[in-house]
A and B are shown apart, each in its own frame.
Chain A
Amino acid sequence: MRYDSAVATTELSAYPAEGFEPRLIERFVSLRNKRVLEIGCGDGRLTFQYAPRASSVLAIDPDQPSIDEALYQQREGGASNIDFRLGSIERLTKPGAPFDVALFSWSL
């Protein structure tokens, strides 16, 4: 393996391995077929992990580059039941029907 390809395939993350956080969340509430509001979704790292189990997800974050990255990942094949929006919980407008779960993911 060449050095540059090794670097390109080594992904470093400060977050837990995939599936770790959804398992912890589900100790409190099942996300299956639930309507979820995620506050501080960032680039959708966690959102894409649990969204396939949820009925729908409204995921918000005040950081434009993060939301752009989340939308890019969604176009590249991420779950289609996620509505990524730029914004904060304080200024959220028209969120729709009440949610079953509100998730502050590393954002409180």
Chain B
Amino acid sequence: MVHALRRAGSYLRRGGTLISIRPHRTWRPSIVIVAGRSRVPVATLLNTAFEVNLSAAESALKRVVDEGSFTLAGVRAARYRIYLDRPSQIRTYLELINPPRPRFPRGGRARLEAIWNTAPRGARVEVTESLIVNGLRRP
């Protein structure tokens, strides 16, 4: 990753900007069932295998700043929401994510089904995802 960042930097003009967009490492995806104003939290998804990759990316970004290849222009985190019509779409949704994919914690799927089965008509499944953007400048 450090090598890739250095290579990208070598193609930038002086003062050019490097942007990294990636999932947030600690703001894990969460599942909520929403119906009108009511929100029932279901689960926070786990992806320990992928968190290792995200830690490596953070380390690589820190390293190229520490070594002087870039200066840090800023870091910004953001959340976004995706709505599914029914729980069965979660499988499809998760398959859209490149492996390693997040998974439900133990008992999470059963809780989802149980809450969904008692949810009012018109309820939806809300998935909250998060990302982090790093801006670096080439000196």
| Residue pair A103, B21 in contact (C-beta under 8 Å) | yes
Contacts known (A102-B8, A102-B11); A17 close to B92, Cβ less than 8 A: no
Chain A residue total in the interface (Cβ 8 A):
31
| Residue pair A102, B17 in contact (C-beta under 8 Å) | yes
B114 at the interface (CB under 8 A from A): no
Contacts known (A14-B82, A27-B74, A106-B22); A98 close to B4, Cβ less than 8 A: no
List chain B positions with a Cβ less than 8 A from chain A: 1, 3-5, 7-9, 11-13, 16-23, 57, 60-61, 73-74, 76, 78, 80, 82, 84-85, 89, 92-94, 96-97, 129, 131, 133, 135
9 A-B contacts (beta carbon < 8 Å)? A13-B96, A16-B129, A24-B133, A28-B17, A39-B8, A100-B13, A101-B19, A104-B8, A108-B22
